[in-house]
């Protein structure tokens, strides 16, 4: 019930292309869905987040799409750049977790120039 499943495990995209990473969850009590970006040897940093009362949120080249009925959400990176090469984690929080996040397994994104 607490799992968040993320796919794909790795993704290779050409510069200028669209990167898409998907996540699925089971716990309907989740009410906050962030995406984190992590560069090698560094801690993750919040990239963008969404609540289930909206279906889409966009910040610059990054967009979250949210499908509440399917219990799925995805990250789209438009015009992908080599500097976007990193590991991306989706996560979810809600219910009585009081700040506790449940993370997906991570996606290693490589953007070729």
Question: How far separated are the first and last CA of the chain, in Å rounded?
Answer: 40
By CB under 8 A, is residue 99 in contact with other proteins?
A: yes
> Candidates 14-22, 59-67, 71-79, 92-100 — which segment interacts with other proteins by CB under 8 A?
92-100
91 dihedral zone (left: phi>0; alpha: psi -120 to 50; beta): beta
CB of 110 to other proteins, least distance (A): 15
d(CA 58, CA 47): 11
CB-nearer residue toward other proteins: 41 or 60: 41
By CB under 8 A, is residue 89 in contact with other proteins?
A: yes
Structure token digits, residue 9:
């495990």
x-or-dash string of contact with other proteins, 17-56, rule CB under 8 A: ---------------x-x-x----xxxxxx--x-------
d(CA 63, CA 2): 24
The separation between CA 13 and the C-alpha centre of its own chain, rounded to angstroms, equals 16
Question: Which residue ranges make up the site for other proteins (CB under 8 A)?
Answer: 6, 9, 32, 34, 36, 41-46, 49, 89, 93, 98-101, 103-106
């Amino acid at each position: 019930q607490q799992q968040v499943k993320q796919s794909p495990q790795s993704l290779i995209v050409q510069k200028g292309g669209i990167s898409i990473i998907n996540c699925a969850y089971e716990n309907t009590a989740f009410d906050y869905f962030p995406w984190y970006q992590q560069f090698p040897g560094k801690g993750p940093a919040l990239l963008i987040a969404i609540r289930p009362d909206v279906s889409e949120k966009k910040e610059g080249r990054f967009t979250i799409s949210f499908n509440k009925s399917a219990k799925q959400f995805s990250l789209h990176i438009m015009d992908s750049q080599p500097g976007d090469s990193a590991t991306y984690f989706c996560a979810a929080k809600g219910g009585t977790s009081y700040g506790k996040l449940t993370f997906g397994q991570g996606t290693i994104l490589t953007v070729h120039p």
